[in-house]
Amino acid sequence: MNTFCTYALHQIEVAVLSVVAIIDKLTEEDLFVRPTADKHSVGELLKHIAVICRADFLISGGATQEEMSAYYAGVSLNNLKDIQAELLTSYSYLAQAFHEMSDEELHREVASYWGATYTRYEWLLEILAHLYHHRGQLHAMLVHCNGKDPKVPLFE
């Protein structure tokens, strides 16, 4: 596997494992906390985070908007245990897929259904950024809006 992919996947794994650790500190009731009325609840955000690796990988492969809608409709995460399991499964799926890619595949440009075009490697970096963005959002929601600091290291 490409060395740079190894490094990027390691950083994604760091983010995933820190979210798993944060989930370990939550109760099922925490899923319903909604700091801002018209924004995601903690549970809705966690459900989104849980599928980022697989969903964004599908997008990076050229999935259509209809295919992504069907994917999201097929995901049912009803509790903390389900969210954790999907997060880990989604990461494993992504890591396995990138382990199998040749350098030629990593350099192939793919357009998303909304028109953004990146190489497969750049999509991997997008996935990394997307995951870190929402992990920071989750942490801020818990600490500043819910008064619940999970005391989980976010970086190595």
Range 104-113 average pLDDT: 97
Q: Exposed, middle or buried: residue 118 (CB in 10 Å: 0-12, 13-18, 19+)?
A: middle
Tell me what pLDDT residue 145 has: 87
pLDDT given at position 2 = 86
Portion of the chain with pLDDT greater than 70, in percent? 100
Annotate 15-42 with DSSP letters as a single string: HHHHHHHHHHT--GGGGG--SSTTS--H
pLDDT of residue 4: 94
Model's pTM, two decimal places?
0.95
For 29-87, the pLDDT digits (tens) are 999 999 999 999 999 999 999 999 999 999 999 999 999 999 999 999 999 999 999 99
**AA letter at 83:** I
The span from the first CA to the last CA of the chain, in angstroms, equals 23
Of the ranges 34-38, 86-90, 109-113, which one carries the lowest mean pLDDT score?
Answer: 34-38
> What's the whole-number average pLDDT of the chain?
96
Question: How far is 32 from 44, CA to CA, in rounded Å?
Answer: 8
Q: Across residues 91-109, what is the average pLDDT?
A: 96
Confidence at residue 26, expressed as pLDDT on a 0 to 100 scale: 97
- Spatial contact of 153 and 18, defined as CB atoms under 8 Å apart: yes
When pLDDT is averaged across residues 11-19 and rounded to a whole number, the result is 98
Q: What is the mean pLDDT of residues 139-144?
A: 95
